[in-house]
Chain A
Amino acid sequence: MSTTTLEQPPAAEAAIQSFTVTFLIRRFDPDVDTEPRWQDFDVEMYATDRVLDALHKIKWEQDGSLTFRRSCAHGICGSDAMRINGRNRLACKTLIKDLDISKPIYVEAIKGLPLEKDLIVDMEPFFASYREVQPFLIAGSAPVAGKERVQSVAERAIFDDTTKCILCAACTSSCPVFWTDGQYFGPAAIVNAHRFIFDSRDEGSQTRLDILNDKEGVWRCRTTFNCTEACPRGIEVTKAIAEVKQAIMRGKP
Chain B
Amino acid sequence: MTAMEFSARPPRRGINLEKWGWIYMRASGVVLIVLIFGHLFMNLMVGDGVKAIDFGFVGGKWADPFWQWWDVLMLWLALIHGANGMRTIVNDYTNPGVVQKVLKGALFAAAAALIVLGTLVVFTFEPCPVGAPADLLPSFCAA
Contact = CB atoms under 8 A, between A and B. Distances in A.
Given A219-B19, A219-B21, A177 B92 contact: yes
Interface residues on B, range: 20 to 34
14 contacts: A131-B7, A132-B8, A134-B6, A177-B92, A207-B11, A210-B13, A214-B11, A215-B16, A217-B18, A219-B18, A219-B19, A220-B18, A222-B88, A249-B19
Contacts of B13: 210
Interface in B23-72: 23
Given A214-B12, A219-B19, A134 B7 contact: yes
A128 B9 CA distance: 11
Given A214-B16, A245-B22, A249-B19, A131 B95 contact: no
Nearest to A176: B92
A213 B95 contact: no
> Closest 9 A-B residue pairs measured CB to CB?
A210-B11, A219-B18, A219-B22, A211-B11, A213-B16, A180-B92, A215-B18, A181-B95, A131-B6
A172 to B, nearest CB: 15
Given A180-B94, A181-B95, 13 more contacts: A131-B6, A131-B7, A181-B96, A207-B11, A210-B11, A211-B9, A213-B16, A214-B18, A217-B18, A219-B18, A219-B21, A219-B22, A245-B22
Contacts of A215: 16, 18
